[in-house]
Amino acid sequence: MSQQDSSEHRAMLSNSVTDFARGADVARVRKLRETKTECDRAVWRQMAELGWLGVLVPEQYGGMGMQLGDMAIVAQGLARALVPEPLTATSVLAARVLTASDNNSLKTKLLEGLVSSDILPATAWQEQAGTLDVTKITTQATPFEGGFRISGAKRFVIGATHADGYIVSANSPAGLQLLWVPRDAAGAAMTFDALADGRQSGTLTLSEVTVAKENVIHSGAAAAESLARAIDHAAAIASAELCGIMSRSLEMTLDYMKTRVQFGKPIGSFQVLQHRTVDLYIQQELSTAVLADCLGVLDEEPDAKTRSAAASRVKARCTDAALLITRQAIQLHGAIGFTEDCDVGLYVKRAMTLAAWLGNGTAHRRRYARTEIIEGATA
């Protein structure tokens, strides 16, 4: 695609996202806590029709074959409107893992299903809190003639309430396996814990679940590498979502500061609040600058070390900035910002959920320190 084509494409994407977000229903988000309907399949289908589920998926599987920079536009725009559907978990994390698969028939079926919204896959890779290392797992895949039997427990599965199946990682004598486990597979059970924003974190228990050879997505070092890359890419797109959250939150705060009057003046005229919001604005601009830079780096498919460093930079900054801005939004709204009815709280909660997913600020700084600073110094 030429430069001009691609910028036209991005403008189009951006417009369609803005239109969609304008019609998005915050009342639905508000009800999440009671109804747990974090994914409305009708909305999901609509998103598929707009092409968004397949932004990153190669054209031969029905996708758009575009770049992370394009995906970020969609994610950021939808996050501004608090759309709860699991776009990043599905269309980045799962889509990247599936695209790297060498099992062509399974890959075709799942990717086409993902793009059309007929199949919603969720990725169940993590077992421990606080690590992004895909090898830190104990789920076992024991081989037999027809495939594997897997046992173990996966935590923090996002986008799982409506999932039709799971991409599960497990250790086998031949290295890491990525396996497709349909939702109703015998021995697989999913339970949920509510997250701050009303969405759900899944725990998948697997006991002696049989996975046929045909359902092996990817194996060995290449599988581990594709999973790690998918996680980094998803962390970067989650950062784009955080940028959407912070920008809308700051906008709402600035609007409020222009209209709320105390001591006979708009509170936005108090210098301390002006300086405070200027600092928040700087954090927002830092975030978008880092985001653009890191997406560029990731789209060039650098080596694993460079890739992880870029993902960590952007996730650390965007997480911290979004948490700061949304928390300050409460403060600057005063008591009304502390009520359920005020949208400010919805942004705080979404920021917390996105912050904790795929490594929070501390986790990413820890990883960055390990690979970029400590190993660099001893190299």
Ligand X SMILES: Cc1cc2nc3c(=O)[nH]c(=O)nc-3n(C[C@H](O)[C@H](O)[C@H](O)COP(=O)(O)OP(=O)(O)OC[C@H]3O[C@@H](n4cnc5c(N)ncnc54)[C@H](O)[C@@H]3O)c2cc1C
Please work out the total of residues on this chain that contact another protein, with binding judged by CB under 8 A. Answer: 45
Q: Which H/E stretch holds residue 124?
A: strand 121-124
Q: How far is the CB of 342 from ligand X (least distance, A)?
A: 11
Which of 76, 90, 117, 360 touches another protein by CB under 8 A?
A: 360
For residue 355, state whether it binds another protein (rule: CB under 8 A): yes
For residue 334, state whether it binds another protein (rule: CB under 8 A): yes
For residue 28, state whether it binds another protein (rule: CB under 8 A): no
Q: Which is nearer to ligand X, 260 or 366 (CB)?
A: 260
Instruction: Compute CA distances 247 → 81, 142, 271, 291, 324, whole Å.
Output: 11, 48, 21, 13, 12
User: Which amino acid belongs to residue 351?
Assistant: A
Are the CB atoms for 56 and 95 separated by under 8 Å? yes
CA dist., res. 71 & res. 93, Å (int): 12
Q: Which is nearer to ligand X, 317 or 333 (CB)?
A: 333
- The set of residues, in sequence order, having a beta carbon less than 8 Å from that of 25 and lying 6+ positions away, is none
Name which of 344, 343, 352 is nearest 199 in CA terms. Answer: 352
Are the CB atoms for 174 and 221 separated by under 8 Å? no
For residue 260, state whether it binds ligand X (rule: CB under 6 A): yes
> Which range binds ligand X by CB under 6 A, 138-146, 232-240, 263-271, 319-327?
263-271
Which of 87, 124, 267, 314 touches ligand X by CB under 6 A?
A: 267
Which of 227, 243, 323, 325 touches another protein by CB under 8 A?
A: 323
Please work out the total of residues on this chain that contact ligand X, with binding judged by CB under 6 A. Answer: 12
For residue 368, state whether it binds another protein (rule: CB under 8 A): no
**Residue 163 three-state SS:** coil
Which of 27, 129, 272, 379 touches ligand X by CB under 6 A?
A: 272
For residue 262, state whether it binds ligand X (rule: CB under 6 A): yes
Which of 26, 338, 374, 376 touches another protein by CB under 8 A?
A: 338
Strand partners, 218: 178
For residue 338, state whether it binds ligand X (rule: CB under 6 A): yes
Are the CB atoms for 368 and 316 separated by under 8 Å? yes
Q: Which is nearer to another protein, 138 or 362 (CB)?
A: 362
Which of 6, 164, 270, 299 touches another protein by CB under 8 A?
A: 270
Strand partners, 147: 144, 212
Q: How many residues does the chain have?
A: 379
| Chain contacts with ligand X (rule: CB under 6 A) | 260, 262-263, 267, 270, 272-273, 331-332, 334-335, 338
